[in-house]
Amino acid sequence: MKILVVDTALGLCTAGVFAIDGTGARRMGLRSEPMAKGHSERLAGFARDAMAEAGLDFPALDRIGVTVGPGSFTGLRVGLAFAQGLGAALDRPVVGVSALDALAASAGVAPTVAALIDARRGQVYARFWTGGEPEGPAAALTVEAAAARIAVMTPGDLLVGSGAALFAGAAPGTTILALEGPEPEALARLAAAADPALAPPRPLYLRAPDATPPSRLPGQPRAGVRVTAPRADRAARLAGLHAAAFPEPWSAAAFQGLLDQPGVFAVEQRDGFILMRAVADEAEILTLAVRPAARRRGLGGRLVGEGAVAAAARGATRLFLEVAADNAAARALYARAGFAEAGRRPGYYAGPDGARRDALLLALNLTAPLP
């Protein structure tokens, strides 16, 4: 089995490719760096470089594994959106792995293992194992409650994770491994062993988010935020790709007019692009184009996934698009990415024969657990 693992839940940005066999997880390609923010800008490149080091194309993967938390709210969304988008594009299973479980698997064998993540505000995310079996589910504990449990641990036991150092004096003789994130090999072993039906890639949140309710109405601009438009010379290239993809393409002038608008951005690949607009808490897909010769290779799904990550990074919580009701291929693509029908506009599109076609409004919630 060839597996790609993704971890953006804690203090690392990791993308690794592993071969799973009877001896465990053999590393084929890996990119991993300490990172507190900026995962959305780096993760896709890390995955690309790890695959190149492994000497594989993305379709050679059998499975994708991703950490589901607990951890950073923003970091989790980046990793999950990328993994879900890639899995949809490749038609490969995506499995979720608890960051605490992966930390424990990184620690090695001990009579008792405590996986601990510093959750700030006087709390830790914690899970304990005795004899290799979990004592209970993951929980957000006060530092005092966790210290009371750790106090009965004995020499030879292990504390692992970013919260381990908080309890250096709580149980003399225990070993402390202050890892900022799980070891990629451990994550790969757990992802390979997981049953996709029982390990969905959905965020594991152990406490409510720190975000406050919005102070503006949908559609109102964010005060003090300026979005830099792409370079002007992109317009001609996007128009060329659009002309190759559609019988009624948009002109370079039309693209330039869109690119000059606040909030408009493009995610580009050699053979395709997605053009989007993010305003306040909402984003929309303006157009998605893939050169005909490059279709059925997963590029459209990857562009949608990367676009969703970029929109979320710009503060969007919902992503919308319109698609013709009779466009089965496009509807299947967006369904795999998690979009659901939110409305219908009768007779919105005019077909080549002059007949009117309904438009479907599809929506993706960028804050709710992914399907």
Looking at the chain, the number of H-run helices and the number of E-run strands are 9, 17
Examine the residue annotation and report whether 322 is marked as an active-site residue of this protein.
yes
From CA 357, how far away is CA 132, in angstroms rounded?
Answer: 59
Q: One of 125, 282, 284, 334 is an active-site residue; which one?
A: 334
- Using CA of residue 333, residue 335, residue 340, residue 345, what is the dihedral sign? positive
From CA 119, how far away is CA 162, in angstroms rounded?
Answer: 9
Which letter, b or e, does each residue of 67-78 get, where b requires 16 or more Cβ atoms within 10 Å of its Cβ?
bbbbbbbebbbb
Measured in Å, how far apart are the chain's first and last C-alpha atoms?
24
| Chain position carrying tokens 């493009």 | 266
Examine the residue annotation and report whether 248 is marked as an active-site residue of this protein.
no
Q: One of 41, 322, 348, 349 is an active-site residue; which one?
A: 322
Q: How many residues does the chain have?
A: 371
Nearest to 58 by CA among 12, 15, 117: 15
By the 8 A CB rule, do 93 and 83 touch? no
Residues annotated catalytic, as ranges: 322, 334
